[in-house]
A and B are shown apart, each in its own frame.
Chain A
Amino acid sequence: EPEVTQTPSHQVTQMGQEVILRCVPISNHLYFYWYRQILGQKVEFLVSFYNNEISEKSEIFDDQFSVERPDGSNFTLKIRSTKLEDSAMYFCAIRDRGSQPQHFGDGTRLSIL
């Protein structure tokens, strides 16, 4: 049984539109992460989130990206104005404090037209 569920499984959006990707953990966890995987490429770290704030972000995570836990359970990734190069598989991962590994959701495939 997966520990984290991602919705939607596939999102198709016009370039310039905003998208929100959601991650719902089964139980309460402390560390949250977003990664992306462009088709045929490796998995890349975007951002980590702990105690309701960003703990680390990569160069990819620029001003058009944002994350939050609006209701204390869902963890969301927002892309404000999508670009063609944002097309990728986006993975959410969770981890408990002091434990490894990170557990991944099944991902959201984002297609920008």
Chain B
Amino acid sequence: AQSVTQLDSQVPVFEEAPVELRCNYSSSVSVYLFWYVQYPNQGLQLLLKYLSGSTLVKGINGFEAEFNKSQTSFHLRKPSVHISDTAEYFCAVTAILTGGGNKLTFGTGTQLKVEL
């Protein structure tokens, strides 16, 4: 089984400041990793994914994340946030299984609040 920990439930940050949202995971098998964003009253939109290859992955809206296997982390970063980045951010993992349904296991989410 997999589990995902997002230690920060809320992260307030001023506009144009950098931000890092933390994500740690636990799994007995290899995993794929994802960050999804949820704007108020909307669905889940994929920000970025790590499947293989370079451990630094870039996503939409200027976000990037780095996969660290030894620390089992997949922290999300943005060098300069905008008011429009205010949203809930979810880290998720899925086990790499052949023939499996590959369900997603989500963290509890981090509410990013960008202030002027």
Contact = CB atoms under 8 A, between A and B. Distances in A.
Given A55-B100, A56-B101, A100 B32 contact: yes
Classify the interface of chain A: helix, strand, loop or mixed.
strand
B101 A55 contact: yes
A100 B94 contact: yes
Interface residues on A, range: 20 to 34
Nearest to B41: A109
Given A41-B108, A44-B106, A48-B102, A105 B51 contact: no
A101 B91 CA distance: 13
A56 B103 contact: yes
Contact of A42 (B45, B51, B102, B108): B108
A35 interface: yes
Interface residues on B, range: 20 to 34
B44 A33 contact: no
Contacts of A102: 102, 104
A57 to B, nearest CB: 9
Interface of A: 2, 31, 33, 35, 41-45, 48-50, 55-56, 58, 91, 93, 95, 100-107
Interface of B: 32, 34, 36, 42-46, 49, 51, 90, 92, 94, 100-109
